[in-house]
Amino acid sequence: MRILLLLSLCVILAWASDPLEYDDYDLTGLDARGNRPLSHRRDTYNPSQPGRPQTGSSSSRPTPAPVGVKQEQEKERPLEAGGCTHASEQLGVLCPTGCELKVTIVKQETNVMQAMAPLRNQVDELSRSSNHIYNYVERMSDVLRERQRVNDDNGEVVSHYTGTIEEEHTYIKETVDNAFPSDIRLLQGVLDKIRQKIQRLEKAIQVQNDNCKEPCITSCPIPVVSGKECEDIIRKGGVESQMYMIQPDPQNLPYKVFCDQNNNNGGWLLIQNRMDGSVDFGRRWDSYRRGFGNIAFDVGKGYCQTPGEYWLGNEQISHLTKMGPTEVLIEMEDWSQNKVHAKYSQFTIQSENGNYVLSVDGYSGNAGNTLLEGATELFGVNRTMTIHNGMMFSTYDRDNDKWYSCDTSKQCSKEDGGGWWYNRCHSANPNGRYYIGGAYTNSMAKHGTDDGMVWMNWKGSWYSLKAISMKIKPSFTS
């Protein structure tokens, strides 16, 4: 298409540069009417100079010729003679060069028309080619605009993802520069602590290895006699008060207990003992469930005849009390060596599913019936809320008391120092904090409450006992 357009332009330039020869023109059909070519309408020509002045009449018509006078006939002049003449022959040739110019122009017009005929065809072809080229260019422009739009869209997408990548790069760089070194230092600190613990463990193992180089000597030999509980042991001949092994259930492993075989007809199994504050009773639920403390120790007689501070364990106590009717003996001593006791002929602890609910009845003794009646120094609802019978067991990590408060930190076990069958809160607190000397004040208490080893119906709220113990045995013994 481009080649065709160039060829057409070359043809036009060649024709324009070719000079026309005068003798080549055709003179046929020429009219000599002045110095302008005739139009297709063959317009008439009016000469520029005026005619003769009119006489006689003012009419615009010419005066007719006189009658009888013979008019001279106008002489015809051949066209080949050239030039234009006046009506009067005497005036001669008017403009021979103008007529020649007309002949030349007419002749050139004829030849130009003949030369333009094939050129017109070429121009038409060129026009059609130009139209094709124009349409092609338009399509190319549309394609270019579409590609430009796609390119702009792609540029926006690239710019968006470039910004996202830059943000991610900034975050990663800040993390690598700041967070990682801090985390590494923290981990190094943790590793140093673990390394120190490992060193301490290695040292302890080395000490144990050194100790085990010599044969072990048992400081508390276990008696050969054993039974289901302490009453069964005394019947079998275990009459000394000391540590024994019992196995209430053949399906479970035996465990150590201290049996009091000398007081109140013997057969008493010690489930709780406080005497010097050597063991912390502010324990979690699982610790009270399994039991904790020192069962017994030797004071120089070759066997463990002195009980230590311990809690037997709620699971063991519950199982022992459900084997049959059980009684409980609670013995206590103040700091002046005065002793009292409270005995209940019926004592049962339910299973863990019921949170070890306490059930007692049949009181006797001289310490005061706090478990059933509450604190006798209180009255009405204040006294009722200190009764322990029917209460669930509570520890500071499992609150089952009757103190309902919007403040979750308000709970009896946390404020009163140990696990017990709290109500709201207590009249007896055998597992409370150990205060030397007896009397204490709220300013001495951790939470400002009577959190000592309290038995209110004997010594009141602000006196902490020196010693207290709880013992059980089957109640069918006469």
User: For residue 70, is pLDDT > 70?
Assistant: no
Residue 334 has pLDDT above 90, yes or no: yes
Give the pLDDT score at 16.
46
91 compared with 404, residue with greater pLDDT: 404
139 pLDDT tier (thresholds 50, 70, 90): confident
* pLDDT reported for residue 21: 42
Residue 186 is predicted with a pLDDT of: 84
Residue among 282, 318, 264 nearest 453 (CA): 282
Query: Please, which pLDDT band fits residue 335 given cuts at 50, 70 and 90?
Result: very high
| Averaged pLDDT for residues 262-284 | 95
Spatial CB neighbours of 133, under 8 Å, sequence gap ≥ 6: 1, 2, 5
Q: Between vectors from CA 174 to CA 169 and to CA 179, what angle results, nearest 5°?
A: 135
* Average predicted confidence (pLDDT) for the chain: 80
User: Percent of the chain beyond pLDDT 90?
Assistant: 48
Among 32-36, 56-60, 222-226, 270-274, which stretch is predicted with the lowest mean pLDDT?
A: 32-36
Percent of the chain clearing pLDDT 70 (strictly above): 77
Confidence at residue 322, expressed as pLDDT on a 0 to 100 scale: 93
Give the pLDDT mean for 326-350.
Answer: 97
> How buried is residue 307: exposed, middle or buried, by Cβ count under 10 Å (0-12/13-18/19+)?
buried
**What average pLDDT score do residues 148-155 get?**
82
As a whole number of angstroms, the distance between CA 328 and CA 455 comes to 16
Q: What's the CA angle centered on 304, arms 293 and 225, to 5 degrees?
A: 105
**pLDDT score recorded for residue 396:** 94
pLDDT(165) > 80:
yes
pLDDT of residue 115: 77
What are the tokens at 81?
A: 């003679």
Residue 26, pLDDT score:
42
The dihedral of CA 411, 433, 288, 370: what is its sign?
negative
Rounded to whole angstroms, the Cα distance separating 75 from 47 reads 20
Both structure tokens of 8: 């057409």
Nearest to 367 by CA among 389, 338, 326: 338
CA–CA gap between residue 404 and residue 130 (Å, rounded): 100
pLDDT over 50 at 210, yes or no: yes
Q: Which fold has domain 230-474?
A: Gamma Fibrinogen; Chain A, domain 1 (3.90.215)
Would you state the pLDDT for residue 472? 97
Position 58 scores a pLDDT of 42
3-state secondary structure of 307: strand
- Phi first, then psi, for residue 108 (nearest 5°) are -65, -40
Which pLDDT does position 217 carry in this prediction?
A: 56
- Please state the domain extents for the chain: 1-37+84-175, 230-474
DSSP 332: E
Is residue 432 scored above 90 in pLDDT? yes
What integer pLDDT is reported at residue 146 of this predicted model? Answer: 85
* pLDDT, position 39: 44
User: Position of tokens 């009219």?
Assistant: 31
The pLDDT value given to residue 47: 46
The 10s digit of each residue's pLDDT in 408-421 is 778 999 999 999 99
- CA dist 424 and 415 (Å) reads 11
Instruction: Give first-to-last CA distance, the chain, whole Å.
Output: 133
- On the question of pLDDT at 104 being above 80, the answer is no
d(CA 334, CA 21): 158
Residues near 475 by Cβ (< 8 Å), separated by ≥ 6?
Answer: 324, 325, 326, 327, 345, 346
Query: What's the pLDDT at 162?
Result: 81
Asked if residues 275 and 309 have their Cβ atoms less than 8 Å apart, the reply is: yes
CA distances from 374 to 49, 289, 347, 425, 426 (A): 158, 25, 17, 10, 8
pLDDT higher than 50, residue 60: no
Residue 163, pLDDT score:
81
Confidence of residue 339 (pLDDT cuts 50, 70, 90): very high
Q: Is the peptide bond before 425 cis (omega within 30 degrees of 0)?
A: yes
**211 vs 364, more confident:** 364
pLDDT at 88: 52
pLDDT at res. 471: 98
pLDDT above 80 for 202: yes
Query: What is the average per-residue pLDDT within 382-400?
Result: 95
Q: What is the mean pLDDT of residues 178-204?
A: 86
In this prediction, residue 150 carries a pLDDT of 85
Q: Please, are residues 412 and 421 in contact by the beta-carbon 8 Å criterion?
A: no
pLDDT score of 175 more than 80: no
Q: Could you tell me the two tokens for 89?
A: 């022959």
Distance CA 342, CA 289 (A): 24
How many CA atoms are closer than 13 Å to the CA of 11, on its beta-carbon side? 15
Q: What are phi and psi of 295, to 5 degrees?
A: -65, -50
Residue 98 burial class via C-beta count within 10 angstroms: exposed 0-12, middle 13-18, buried 19 and up: middle
Q: What angle do CA 222, 228, 229 make, to 5 degrees?
A: 75
CA nearest 243: which of 224, 265, 258, 260? 258
For residues 463 and 439, the answer to whether their CB atoms sit within 8 Å is: yes
So what's the pLDDT on residue 221? 81
Check: CB of residue 243 under 8 Å from CB of residue 295. yes
- pLDDT band with cut points at 50, 70 and 90 for residue 40: very low
CB 243 within 8 A of CB 304: yes
3-state secondary structure of 166: helix
Q: At what angle do helices 96-174 and 2-17 cross, to 10 degrees?
A: 150
Split at pLDDT 50, 70, 90, the class of 62 is very low
